[in-house]
Amino acid sequence: MTKREPPRRRFILPGWRTLAIGAGVAGTGVVALVALHQPTPPASRFAASVGEDTTPAPAPTDPLMAELLRCRSLVARTDDATCRKAWEANRRRFMGESRSYVPPASSIPTEGQ
């Protein structure tokens, strides 16, 4: 009796799990390399500075902006007619409807006329 030799194993493709793990490891490596080579982001323009040596912001020269700053400091759900007018003027200015706020002429007739 002759001893049978086992068949030679050919190259077997790896399973899908092995491929998925390999792709994940490779992707993580690429992300890490890109993160190392990116420059540091610029400092935020809106960063708040903490300390006593800071000077307060100058008062706005625009009267509408001054009114909006005042309205922003009010308690929530405060019904203020001047604030509503200021926000409406700001909306109109933003949307390009007018460059300055001009209150509408009163069209309500007065009594006795």
Q: Do residues 25 and 17 lie in contact, with contact meaning Cβ atoms separated by under 8 Å?
A: no
- Two tokens, residue 58: 């100058």
Q: What is the pLDDT of residue 104?
A: 59
Domain ranges of the chain: 63-95
Query: What does the chain come to in residues?
Result: 113
Please give the Cα distance from 59 to 66 (Å, whole number). 7
| Separation between Cα atoms, residue 64 and residue 25, nearest integer Å | 56
What pLDDT does 107 receive? 54
Profile the chain (113 residues) by mean pLDDT over runs of 10 residues. 72 79 92 78 62 61 86 88 90 74 57 52
